Structure 1
């Protein structure tokens, strides 16, 4: 659920500026001529006007005498070696363009850095305080252009200069870095830095109070004149909202609830509106989805303009409503809300195009986009959410199209590659219950030829047909299993490789878990994968990869995937269950019929032990948390993914069926029939309920014919496919001789679960 914070609206409103006259004295450049008093005064007025955010005042201050726009250029021309003056000129031009010519401004900053001999690529630690303004401006551009990793690198390198920077400038630096941490979903780093930010604001508040008291004595009782009290109050509000967002991000719901309650009566309308988003987010994370829905509908006021906030609140509201309905199991309604969000996003972006096109329909160039507009569009994030919504609503082809568009923008996201593979799997096999449909069960018998005593029954092959409605092309990906195989390989390649296992260490699982705790894998446009989540995600990829390899008859590759899967720590119960069955099927299918290895088949029998199935939970068990707040006031939300088998008894029956197939391959038809009857005709009522999957009927016919039990085969055909056997079976007749052997059916019965819950 996307959150909004007024802190993201208030950071970086103005581009920083340095005093060219004073900065040149300490700059690492050749000595320059001294500025005259008039030039220093002019530069000071320009800096004050720009710091106040008045572009018109900046031009007026820079053009006192004579009043011509070329005055700023003349000041820079008089001191060409002063890189700080050149930077101030670039800032003035950028502000005068209303923050439209961003790329030109960026290139000018790079040129200034080259002149001053500052290394931007190697700024792990900035030691020159004079370069702080330049690097801050670059970090600000990176932040709004969503290059958050680069912005974080630059801003963290500036933190050691805290004692050398002006308090107001350092406060702006801290606020921008806090927003960057939230964008990167690093709540621990944000909470750690919040203490520093609150300290800076507190010190500024004390200084402002002291100056105000002295102003009362000297100015006759006008305490607030020109002291910027509103800016400090806004900074305090921003820090409060940042702390709430960080607490929600790290799932510290108790602390977040207390902080929200303490600020319910805030006088600012903008603060109250943003706080309502956080209240809805809190209810969403606590599982109180109905309350979250009510809070989202009761957000006070009207959405603020994207020009003022840098975000489109209408888009966030529709997206959050879609997220709530997703976990309520209302996927079609969630998709409807996401389409509304996409329309609002297009409307917000088209407003800028309409202003620049001037009604002539001209194309808006890249340099005609203002700085704030870079972060307004959420097009691909919304397409990502819509693709997931359609995938879980049983529309894999439409979901494939949306996610394919997203993968072109985020090609290094392994979770997106897995989602594309899941779309292909779902298209080939929408659910495991599909085999119980009558049209699928009819595939067990192809038909009847002849008549009378020459009447012959044609059995089916028992192999599921693979859907390939399109011609395969590397230039046009389609939801086929071949493309799904490529997707899972890409996902595995993008995941970090496990380090070599230390010699002499016997705790392999502990070694892998300790290694995973040191990693943080970005998955834009979603969040990060950390620690055990990374191991669980790798297990999901390996599970899907093994299933795809089995469907493509690549049994050797499936064997490798299964061995890797079963060696992973922190497996869920269903992943362990599927890993054993897939490994058994791979071993069975690797045999050559004329030279069957008894060892491989015995391994398959051990893997398919029904007693080993005790749980089939899709998600791994989580240890109880002492701070598990709050208690849910309603029943848990329905699962977003209905997976079969959903209970232990059904899972054991499927494993018994696969075990029966292995015994049939070994030639032990009595044991095979015994296990199959235990599944279908269990006297304790623990068997599988009809209608049975299609391959059950095929396998039962196969066993009856192999053992010469023709009457039982006729009875099964009469009960299940009566339209093919009009003549009733003759129970008094002696069973016919054994029919010629037919190929046994596949051992697989289920498909892998469709991944973890989506990061919205």
Structure 2
């Protein structure tokens, strides 16, 4: 996200000048609408920002498509079409419109194809189009209506048919098309993330070393490296955050596409980074554990589900000097993060732990843990799949009456005789 700077007009005078152009072909009206969009985006109003960007696009297109006059070369050169499309795509992504954002960013990437962050944003559009939120997986009231799919017979001979899968996720595309086709799919996200990783700027910034340094005087810090257009300068911390975001996105997409070996590789790569945020560490452990379970490496999966991994739950990188133990812990996830409390995240780890125990045949331990999670559902958001796990464990332990009682209590779409 960036604002335009005019060589002739100040920002505060743009709204008074009308549709004027400088000698370099810059339009005050285009810059005014774009900068208003930047301000509203910064204030957390992405929908209003999109309105101003669309106005800027209309003005920019009108200036470069006049048919009654000859378009000067510097007028065409002053067009800000691709920069505004970049801004519009980012605001649409923040506004929860990933497919529209994808259409804008795919236009911008034709010009700024060397921008690593832009390729990451395209991948995020694909990911959000695949799955916009995981709140439905914590909505027990809604999910419990899907537990029973059919009842056969009546009275004592009644049989209850349970669903085999609560998840509605589609793992991968079944259409016979190339992965390189620019559509918001997980397959295309893999290509975007590969480009983002290859174009990632270096952490080191090359700058001239002073020949003479006076004793006791610290030489000035090297300037940030110029970022690829249309981004601003990139600092070392920005590169670290960008690398970690690419790794965790790769881990998620690979997991969704069934490439569990690559999921594990990306997760372990992130965990080996010297600096990473608490949220990225949390996700890396969850993705690594799930991939190990699917690879039938249950003992290794248990190591990633230890409660000690739930510490700092922020997006911020720890400082270089302070260790993770010395840094202040944030026990609540970032804004607009779901699950929204640390207690819910603990319940999520416990649920996955109970699943691993069940697969290993440790049914008594799994039953105890599952009951604890179910009891906490009265005050905490817990995975809705916990009820299905409890039913499965009770049936495996031979407690048919307990399972039947749970079904009667929480399945509201059937009347049992």
Shared fold per TM-score greater than 0.5: yes
Provide the secondary structure at the position in 2 that maps to 1:456: strand
Residue 543 of structure 1, CA deviation: 0.4
Summarize deviations over 1:141-163 as a string: whole Å, max 9, x none: xxxxxxxxxxxxxxxxxxxxxxx
**TM-score, normalised to structure 2's length?**
0.82
2:354 counterpart of 1:660: yes
Contact 1:322 1:338 in 2 (8 A): yes
Counterpart for residue 343 of structure 1: 58
Residues 519-668 of structure 1 aligned to structure 2 (within 5 Å)? 520=225, 522-591=227-296, 600-620=297-317, 642-668=336-362
Match of 1:428 among 116, 130, 135: 130
Q: 1:347 to 1:397 in 2, by over 3 A?
A: same
Instruction: Tell me if the contact between 1:418 and 1:487 (Cα under 8 Å) persists in the aligned partners.
Output: yes
Match of 2:149 in 1: 446
* Residue ranges of structure 2 left out of the alignment (5+ in a row): 205-221, 322-332
Residue of structure 2 aligned with 1:310, choices 22, 25, 28: 25
Q: Residues 622-644 of structure 1, C-alpha deviation per residue, up to 9 Å, x if partnerless?
A: 699xxxxxxxxxxxxxx997221
- Check 1:725–1:717 CA distance in 2 against 1; reply closer, same or farther (3 A cut): farther
Matched-pair contact (CA < 8 Å) for 2:4–2:34: no
Aligned partners of 2:336, 2:58: CA distance in 1, in Å?
Answer: 31
Give how far 1:562 is off.
0.8
Shift of 1:561: 0.5
Residue correspondence of structure 1 range 228-267 to structure 2 within 5 A = none
Q: For residue 355 of structure 1, what is the aligned residue in structure 2? A: 69
Q: What is the SS of the residue equivalent to 1:652?
A: helix
Residue equivalent to 2:363: 669
Distance (Å, rounded) in 1 between the aligned partners of 2:235 and 2:28: 29
C-alpha contact (below 8 Å) 1:435/1:441 kept by paired residues:
no
Over 3 Å counting, the alpha-carbon distance change for 1:330 and 1:532 in structure 2 is closer
Distance 1:675 1:338 in 2: 52
Q: Does 1:698 align with 2:371?
A: no
Q: Distance in 1 between matches of 2:95 and 2:87?
A: 12
Unaligned runs of 5+ in 1: 10-269, 278-295, 357-367, 500-516, 592-599, 625-638, 728-760
Q: Aligned partners of 1:554, 1:562: CA distance in 2, in Å?
A: 12
State the 1:715 CA deviation. 3.0
1:31-56: per-residue Cα shift (whole Å, max 9, x none)? xxxxxxxxxxxxxxxxxxxxxxxxxx
Taking the aligned partners of 1:477 and 1:618, their CA distance within structure 2 comes to: 30
Number of equivalenced pairs: 386
Displacement of 1:491: 1.6
Single out whichever of 555-564 and 302-311 deviates more from structure 2.
Answer: 302-311
Counterparts in 2 of 1:172-187, with a 5 A limit?
none
- 2-structure distance, mates of 1:662, 1:468: 25
> Structure 2: how far apart are the matches of 1:385 and 1:450?
60
Distance 1:435 1:345, change over 3 A: same
Preserved contact between residue 371 and residue 390 of structure 2 (Cα < 8 Å): no
Distance 1:491 1:399 in 2: 18
- 1:461 pairs, out of 149, 155, 165, with 165
How many angstroms does 1:468 deviate by? 6.9
* Higher radius of gyration, 1 or 2: 1
- Out of 17, 24, 35, the position equivalent to 1:320 is 35
C-alpha separation in 2, matches of 1:467 and 1:398: 22
Question: What SS does the corresponding residue of 1:448 show, helix, strand or coil?
Answer: strand
Structure-1 separation of matches of 2:181 and 2:275: 37
Answering whether residue 203 of structure 2 is matched by residue 491 of structure 1, we say: no
Counterpart-to-counterpart distance in 2, 1:567 and 1:469: 32
Show structure 1 runs of 4+ deviating over 6 A.
Answer: 467-470
The Cα offsets for residues 649-670 of structure 1, whole Å up to 9 and x where unpaired, read as 2221211111111111211122
1:380 corresponding residue in structure 2: 82
Cα deviation 1:701-750 (Å, max 9, x = unaligned): 222222222233223322321223523xxxxxxxxxxxxxxxxxxxxxxx
CA RMSD of aligned residues (A): 3.1
Shift of the alpha carbon at 1:472?
A: 4.9
* CA contact 1:306–1:376 (8 Å) conserved in 2: no
SS at match of 1:661: helix
Match of 2:219 in 1: none
CA distance in 1, matches of 2:4, 2:103: 29
